[in-house]
Structure 1
């Protein structure tokens, strides 16, 4: 399941809790597009803001809607015990894989992160994807640590945060990481603005936030990558520069995707867990114009 398009949907949250109806609308777009897998409760899925029971419910809903599409569930938390409980919940919900970040209040050491992954992979019966996201976890994986973690039998993929801005440098980055990994462990690009560079550099999967809301567009890119049509991959991702610009303007993808889901009528425009606040009316109007200009649907 660690190839192609892994779509990461928004988890819409209102004052009364998870907007299950809105979440179901979003998931329906993914099933209709036949994405290769779903990444549930990632950063855009607001895992860090939800209770254990809410996360279990979201995983259950996702699996119920997914049909034959594999579902990966993030089990990130600050303590190993909490992670193991979340892993149990995700597996009970039917998760096909787990996404594990290195999250902690105190700074983590490499040995502590290795011990965490060793403990989790021994505990669970489904494969694990390493969630390398220093922008939110404030832990930076080295290639050497990725290599050690890939020696664990349960580790099957690495979700990297981005690649350098040139094709040559991006290829060098992906190849350098791959030299450390056990054969068969895939590399997945995230940071959607880098998707084209990463896929053309040899990443086997796109862990995609915008694919969680606009799966048809994202699938065009991964399908082009699958046949090594580098020119088409570049053209399709470059066309989306207005969307990437919105991500940069608003400090990441979450607030933009939440507003876009509201613009599309899938959920409320204000669908972020507090203390996160929705964008202004003017910013939402800008997002609506970009959606219209790019014919995103």
Structure 2
């Protein structure tokens, strides 16, 4: 479950709610490409904007398309009770794993976050991936907190937000984190511009936004990593610098991916949940040009 390419698709919207047809088209690209796993309702999947009922529907749709591809579903919410309800729904929909961020309104302490994971892993019947995403949750997992989670058998993977921007420093960061984790817990790189560095530094999985729309392109990178070919990993990742530049330009990759899905005709150009707005026409044209120039698939 927690190796290779975990692809995180958009949850597209129309004025009437979830765009189920568009979502099905996105999932069809991922299953046709045989990604290693699906990451449903992550940040790119707009989990924070959906009701409990909508999230259950999205998970159910995803499972209908997944076939034998494992599915991880995000269950992030502000209250522990809400998380437990979402975990029940995700498991009922057929989730093979749960993705759990430390979502908050009041600033959380390490003890509070540990208590959340202790509670969820005690109640869940499937493994949990720790979602460290300080850019959205405003909580950063310390290595000490990761070390405390060694006692939680249900924690099987850690999704980190990135690594330092030099190969040696990236290797040191992954090694240091691994020292705090229980043996067998995988480390997954996210923050797509760091994918090559993270995979070459020893991360076993890429939790990928890019892979959620361009799975064939992303799989080339994870397959090179699986073949122990760091030179090719670096070259393939560096080739995507124009895409990474778009992510940086627009602050969050979700806006770029939403525009790209529209350019490809898989969703409406305006497919984000409000209050998020689609990018202006000039930016969408630039995204279309990058897709064509890089031959993203």
**TM-score by shorter chain over 0.5:** yes
**Counterpart of 1:197?**
197
Q: Deviations over 1:239-284 (max 9, x none)?
A: 0000000000000100000000000000001000000000000000
Q: Mind listing any 5+ residue stretches in structure 1 that lack a counterpart? A: none
Would you identify which runs of 4 or more consecutive aligned residues in structure 1 move more than 6 Å?
Answer: none
Q: Distance in 1 between matches of 2:273 and 2:234?
A: 34
- 2:180 is paired with a residue of what secondary structure? coil
Matched-pair contact (CA < 8 Å) for 1:150–1:185: no
**Counterpart of 2:123?**
123
- 1:73 is paired with a residue of what secondary structure? strand
Matched-pair contact (CA < 8 Å) for 1:26–1:266: yes
Residue 226 (str. 1) matches residue 241 (str. 2): no
**Counterpart of 1:6?**
6
**Counterpart of 1:22?**
22
Residue 138 (str. 1) matches residue 144 (str. 2): no
- 1:203 is paired with a residue of what secondary structure? coil
Matched-pair contact (CA < 8 Å) for 1:187–1:204: yes
Q: Distance in 2 between matches of 1:146 and 1:31?
A: 32
Query: When the two structures are aligned, how many residues end up with a matched partner?
Result: 297
**Counterpart of 1:210?**
210
Q: Distance in 2 between matches of 1:238 and 1:144?
A: 33
**Counterpart of 1:79?**
79
**Counterpart of 2:258?**
258
Residue 60 (str. 1) matches residue 60 (str. 2): yes
- TM-score normalised over the length of structure 2: 1.00
Q: Distance in 2 between matches of 1:137 and 1:228?
A: 34
**Counterpart of 1:42?**
42
Q: Distance in 2 between matches of 1:151 and 1:3?
A: 22
Q: Distance in 2 between matches of 1:291 and 1:64?
A: 29
Q: Mind listing any 5+ residue stretches in structure 2 that lack a counterpart? A: none
- 1:129 is paired with a residue of what secondary structure? strand
